[in-house]
Amino acid sequence: MADITAAMVKELRELSGAGMMDCKKALGETNGNIEEAIEYLRKNGQAKAEKKAGRIAAEGLCKVVVKGDTTAAVVEVNSETDFVAKNEEFQSFAVAVAEQAVNSDATDVEALLAEKWLTDTSKTVKEVLVEKIARIGENLSIRRFEKVVAENGCVVSYVHGGGKIGVIVEATTNLVNDSVKEALNNIAMQVAALSPIYVRTEEISDEYKAHEMEILIAQAQNDPKNAGKPDNIIEKMVQGRLNKQLKEVCLLEQAYVKDGDLTVAQYVAQVAKETGADLAIKRFVRYETGEGIEKKTEDFAAEVAKQMGN
């Protein structure tokens, strides 16, 4: 059995919103596995919410560059500390990486790193990255990027929190004007705020539905109010909850944040009618800095004392 540390309990509590003792028990039941502990808490109805973005802890920036109305790229460049992430040289480098990506045909980070640097072709992207590491004095990484090219419409971007979240929305449309772009920018802000997973319900996989149904059934079975109820009755009971949950992860089914009386789909239809555009949301990309990366816990005072020889 793994040793359950206070740090592990703290991490699970922050991720799940469950109580300290519940988190400690869940870790004990799952041999210290954080992901399995979250599942355990959800099935027992103790997790207030599963943070879909995962363990967000690494520092750095997400930057987006748009080229014309049809091409955009979002990148995530990581640093070890928030102090460096706020550094002007690091921020300029992150923007330059986004410029590199939007002008690149690379499909993965390895290929991007092998390319000639856009502003100095005597160096590769990787060589420039290594130089930045030496100059700034921290380990830096170009973690990921995605380029979006709209063939029958346009793209818009939104960056939240100075680079904490970067979003691209692609739409098909026969009309690109300020009104359409403003509406798409509103939708990009919706994506940043409410973290949808899919554009529409038709995109949801059967595996995702089955997994979420399993969680909801387990929660209902563990509820004393449902003691003795047969499985088929419980399954019918939770179907409505599943349908509601599926709407929450689909962009077009979400309540529009600027007008709760409309869904996003209804808002898009309203804009299309007002502008005369044949408008539809095709896809979105949402990056959040440090998404899914577990950050090393540092004791700053202890580190300073260590360096001073105390």
The residue ranges of every structural domain in the chain are: 1-51, 59-164
- Cα 120 to Cα 176: distance, rounded to the nearest angstrom: 35
- Cα 289 to Cα 78: distance, rounded to the nearest angstrom: 8
pLDDT at position 305 is 53
Average pLDDT over residues 292-300: 57
- Cα 155 to Cα 101: distance, rounded to the nearest angstrom: 15
The phi, psi pair for 168, rounded to 5°, reads -125, 135
Average pLDDT over residues 197-214: 90
Report the run of H or E that residue 303 belongs to, with start and end.
helix 300-307
How sure is the predictor about 224, in pLDDT bands with cuts at 50, 70 and 90?
confident
CATH number, domain 59-164:
3.30.479.20
Mind listing the pLDDT tens digit for each residue in 138-179?
888 999 999 999 999 999 999 999 999 999 999 999 999 999
pLDDT at position 286 is 98
Least confident of 33-37, 122-126, 174-178, 239-243: 239-243
pLDDT at position 48 is 47
| DSSP bridge pairs for 76 | 62, 144
Contact 174, 277 (CB under 8 A): yes
Mind listing the pLDDT tens digit for each residue in 45-55?
665 434 433 33
Mind listing the pLDDT tens digit for each residue in 119-131?
999 999 999 998 9
Mind listing the pLDDT tens digit for each residue in 108-118?
999 999 999 99
- Cα 290 to Cα 58: distance, rounded to the nearest angstrom: 4
Average pLDDT over residues 257-280: 96
Largest CA distance in the chain: 73
The token pair at 251 is: 């962009």
Contact 26, 46 (CB under 8 A): yes
Contact 167, 285 (CB under 8 A): yes
- Cα 286 to Cα 62: distance, rounded to the nearest angstrom: 10
Average pLDDT of the chain is 87
pLDDT at position 300 is 45
| DSSP code of residue 295 | P
Of residues 202, 279, 201, 308, the one with CA closest to residue 245:
201
How sure is the predictor about 227, in pLDDT bands with cuts at 50, 70 and 90?
confident
How sure is the predictor about 101, in pLDDT bands with cuts at 50, 70 and 90?
very high
pTM for the whole structure? 0.73
Average pLDDT over residues 93-102: 98
Angle at 78 (CA atoms; ends 74, 84), nearest 5 degrees: 120
Of residues 169, 307, 199, 191, the one with CA closest to residue 256:
191
pLDDT at 304 over 70: no
- Contacts (Cβ under 8 Å, ≥6 apart) of 293: 54, 55, 56, 57, 58, 78
- 1-51 belongs to CATH 2.60.120.620: no
The phi, psi pair for 303, rounded to 5°, reads -65, -40
